[in-house]
Amino acid sequence: MSENIALFGGSFDPPHLGHQALVYAAIQELGLDEVWVIPAGLPVHRQLSGKATSEQRLSWLSAIFADEPRVRIVDWEINHAKPSPAIATLRRFQAENPNIIPIWLMGLDSFLDMPNWVEYPEHQKLSNLAVFHRKNIEKTLETMGWEDISTLNHGLAAGHIIFINKTLPDISATQIRKNPELHQKYLHQDTCNAILACYASD
C-alpha cells in the first residue's frame, strides 16, 4: 500500500490548471506516492456558486487527472449532506489508515486562514502541511504551532510544515466564475467547453 500520501481539499468550483499544477508540483517536490483530491460537498467557510453539481465537479477533476495514476479523486465530502470540515476528513483518513500521517496540501492564502478552521489546531496531531506560495501574498514567518522544516521525510510525525516556493498559474476559481471566457486558457482542454457552458453569465 502507498504510504506517502497527500490530501488536497477544496471546492473546485470549477477545477482549473492551477489546481492541476499544484498537485503535480507536490508529487515532484515531495516524492509522493499518491495525492487524494477531495472536493467539498458543502464547504464550511464559503458557499458554492450553485452553477455546477457535485457530479460535474467530480467528473471534471477525474478528467483533469486522468493521465496521472498517482491521483485519486475521493468523494468522501461530496456525499455528506452537511458541511464536512477538514478535521473530519483527517479523522476519517486516520481511522482507515492508522499508520500513515498524510500531508495536507494548500496555498498560502488557505494557510493564513487556518486558525479559523473548525477545531483548529487539532489538525497538527493528524497531518503535516505543505504550503505553496501564492503571488502577491507575502510569506508569513508565523507557523502557528507547526514545526517549520525543509524536507518532509517519509515516516515523520504529525505537526510539521514545509513552505514550497514553486511558480504556479496565477488563477483562482473565483476569477474563472466571474469571467469564464476571459480565463478559459486556465481550463483543461477536456473540461473547457463544459465549464464555459456551466458558468456562462445569466
Q: Please tell me the distance from the alpha carbon of residue 163 to that of residue 129, in angstroms, as a whole number.
A: 8
pLDDT score, position 197:
96
Question: Is residue 78 in some structural domain?
Answer: yes
Q: Is 68 exposed, middle or buried (0-12, 13-18, 19+ CB in 10 A)?
A: middle
Q: Is the pLDDT of residue 202 over 90?
A: no
Cell numbers for 94, please give them: 486516520
Question: Is residue 105 in some structural domain?
Answer: yes
Cell numbers for 133, please give them: 506560495
Question: Is residue 174 in some structural domain?
Answer: no
Question: Is residue 196 in some structural domain?
Answer: no
Question: Is residue 179 in some structural domain?
Answer: no
Cell numbers for 45, please give them: 467557510
- Each residue's pLDDT tens digit, 39-66: 998 777 678 899 999 999 999 999 999 9
How many domains does the chain fold into?
A: 1
CATH code: domain of residue 110: 3.40.50.620
Q: Look up the pTM and report it.
A: 0.94
Structural domain span for residue 93:
5-168
Question: Is residue 175 in some structural domain?
Answer: no
Q: Is the pLDDT of residue 27 over 80?
A: yes
